[in-house]
């Protein structure tokens, strides 16, 4: 087998890259370790920036978004028992975000790929990448007991944090920056109406909480929990009781509970690998960086990596110019570090840390108080939350 680009990983990064390349006439094959159902069962992101919506439109997968997406022009910060609205639209000259689940984005991309008759090898075992220090790299994998080889011009490592691509780079060629937070997020998905029409980010002495949603009838809630907690310690009733304890009286009254349809604990991490290009191998999305989910930036960063990578690969394959691929890493990393900073800062402000003590809580509350009462402070939060423009700082 031969193609222009082998894309390792059929998460949102890999599928979106495949679609953008297809639209431009560049051949690509996707190789994924899991089944399509497994990929769709991972409940993750929920908030899309305008920049991401623009890339989805370019890929031609924005048909369901106007009907099923929920535009949000603000969110609430809850601290000291009171809620304060951050008016995203008013503070950013009209910008907003769209609540639309990662599952739906992935489904739209999978359907588009299938409709176009493009090749995806699901359930590929022992995926390995070869010779990416040369201009004749290849990818091998085992499918149904048979070893397959794909020769290509470029490899796109879109295989997430635990993937094989970053791990295949020689240690001396890559630098990794990492911070692991001393807590996780326990998430619950339930077919209940959301407690509020907008998201509520909660700083409480009992720990962080987030009230999010997927639709008018489906809610997504998160609680900060110790990393040592297990799911069996959190039957639904315990989850709802603890969430109520972290909410304000009005939200507590409005909260509709019900059986969870998904429950999981995710660790929180800040991570960046530099650079993101190694010869003919390019990393994109969670394969290259992780943000704690507090700022809702992970999927959005993945979408902009993919936008930059698709432009660069199209230029290389069609126009035979390497200018784009030479700038790929630097261009992405500038944007990534800004989102890493915002996500780390917002996480630090909203969560309870084991060693913060009473003074730490008071200082967080004082900072939140400043942010919601200062227009400059609120605008800083808003402009980062809606996402900085693609060419910011260039
Ligand atoms: P993914 O989604 O991890 O997909 C990688 C794919 O690669 C496959 N794979 C392999 N395939 C072949 N061979 C191998 N050796 C392979 N190893 C792995 C995997 O099976 C998988 O299918 O990475 P991708 O595509 O880069 O997408 C990144 C996003 O998933 C991630 O950034 C977001 O989910 C982060 N995130 C959020 N981002 C936002 O923008 N807004 C949010 O509101 C938001 N909320 C969240 C989040 C992530 C969360 N968790 C669970 C970490 C909330 C949570 C709780
Ligand atoms: C979600 O709905 O899953 C979600 C929303 C906002 C975040 C993180 C996760 O900051």
Distance 44 CA to ligand 1 centre (A): 7
What CATH homologous superfamily does 181-264 map to?
Answer: D-Amino Acid Oxidase, subunit A, domain 2 (3.30.9.10)
Per the prediction, the chain carries an average pLDDT of 97
Q: Do domains 5-79+97-177+268-351 and 181-264 have the same CATH topology?
A: no
**How far lies 310's CA from each of 90, 101, 113, 117, 304, in Å?**
33, 23, 16, 20, 10
pLDDT of residue 301: 97
Q: Answer yes or no: is the C-beta of 298 below 6 A from any ligand 2 atom.
A: no
Would you call 370 a catalytic residue per the annotation? no
Q: Answer yes or no: is the C-beta of 294 below 6 A from any ligand 2 atom.
A: yes
State the average pLDDT over residues 124-129.
Answer: 98
Q: Answer yes or no: is the C-beta of 139 below 6 A from any ligand 2 atom.
A: no
CB 4 within 8 Å of CB 94: no
The pLDDT tens digits for 196-249 are: 999 999 999 999 999 999 999 999 999 999 999 999 999 999 999 999 999 999
Would you call 181 a catalytic residue per the annotation? no
Lowest mean pLDDT among 35-44, 76-85, 97-106, 318-327: 35-44
pLDDT of residue 394: 79
Instruction: Domain ranges for the chain, please list them.
Output: 5-79+97-177+268-351, 181-264
Q: How much is the CA Rg of the chain, to the nearest whole Å?
A: 21
Instruction: Please state which of the four CATH numbers 3.40.1160.10, 3.40.190.10, 3.30.70.141, 3.50.50.60 is assigned to the domain occupying 5-79+97-177+268-351.
Output: 3.50.50.60
pTM of the model: 0.96
The pLDDT tens digits for 53-97 are: 999 999 999 999 999 999 999 999 999 999 999 999 999 999 999
- Report the percent of the chain where pLDDT is more than 70: 100
Residue 357 DSSP code = H
pLDDT of residue 41: 86
pLDDT confidence band for 178 (50 / 70 / 90): very high
Query: 301 — phi, psi (to 5°)?
Result: -65, -40
Pick the catalytic residue: 100, 181, 221, 385?
Answer: 385
State the average pLDDT over residues 262-286.
Answer: 97
């Amino acid at each position: 087998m031969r193609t222009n680009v082998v894309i390792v990983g059929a998460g949102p990064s890999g599928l979106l890259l495949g679609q953008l390349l297809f639209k431009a006439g560049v051949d690509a094959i996707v190789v994924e370790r899991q089944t399509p159902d497994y990929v769709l069962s991972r409940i993750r992101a929920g908030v899309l920036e305008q920049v991401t919506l623009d890339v989805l439109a370019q890929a031609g997968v924005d048909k369901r978004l106007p009907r099923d997406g929920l535009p949000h022009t603000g969110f609430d910060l809850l601290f000291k028992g009171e809620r304060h609205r951050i008016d995203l639209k008013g503070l950013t000259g009209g910008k907003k975000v769209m609540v639309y689940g990662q599952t739906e984005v992935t489904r739209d991309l999978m359907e588009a790929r299938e409709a176009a008759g493009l090749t995806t090898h699901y359930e590929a075992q022992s995926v390995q990448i070869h010779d990416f220090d040369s201009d004749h790299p290849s990818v091998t994998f085992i499918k149904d007991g048979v070893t397959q080889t794909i020769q290509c011009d470029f490899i796109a490592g879109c295989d997430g944090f635990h993937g094989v691509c970053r791990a295949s780079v020689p240690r001396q060629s890559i630098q990794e920056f990492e911070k692991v937070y001393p807590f996780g997020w326990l998430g619950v998905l339930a077919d209940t109406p959301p407690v509020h029409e907008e998201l509520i980010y909660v700083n409480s002495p009992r720990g962080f909480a987030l009230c999010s949603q997927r639709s008018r009838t489906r809610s997504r809630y998160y609680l900060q929990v110790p990393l040592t907690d297990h799911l069996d310690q959190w039957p639904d009733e315990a989850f709802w009781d603890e969430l109520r304890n972290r909410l304000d009286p009005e939200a507590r009254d409005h909260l509709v509970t019900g059986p969870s349809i998904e429950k999981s604990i995710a660790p929180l991490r800040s991570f960046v690998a530099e650079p993101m290009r190694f010869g003919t191998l390019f990393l994109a999305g969670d394969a290259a960086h992780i943000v704690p989910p507090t700022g809702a930036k992970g999927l959005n960063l993945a979408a902009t990596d993919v936008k930059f990578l698709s432009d660069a690969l199209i230029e290389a394959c069609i126009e035979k110019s390497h200018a784009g691929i030479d700038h790929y890493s630097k261009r992405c990393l500038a944007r990534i570090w800004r989102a890493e900073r915002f996500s780390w800062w917002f996480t630090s402000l909203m969560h309870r840390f084991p060693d913060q003590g009473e003074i730490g809580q008071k200082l967080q509350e004082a900072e939140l108080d400043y942010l919601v009462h200062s227009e400059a402070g609120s605008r800083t939060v808003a402009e980062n939350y809606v996402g900085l423009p693609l060419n910011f700082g260039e």
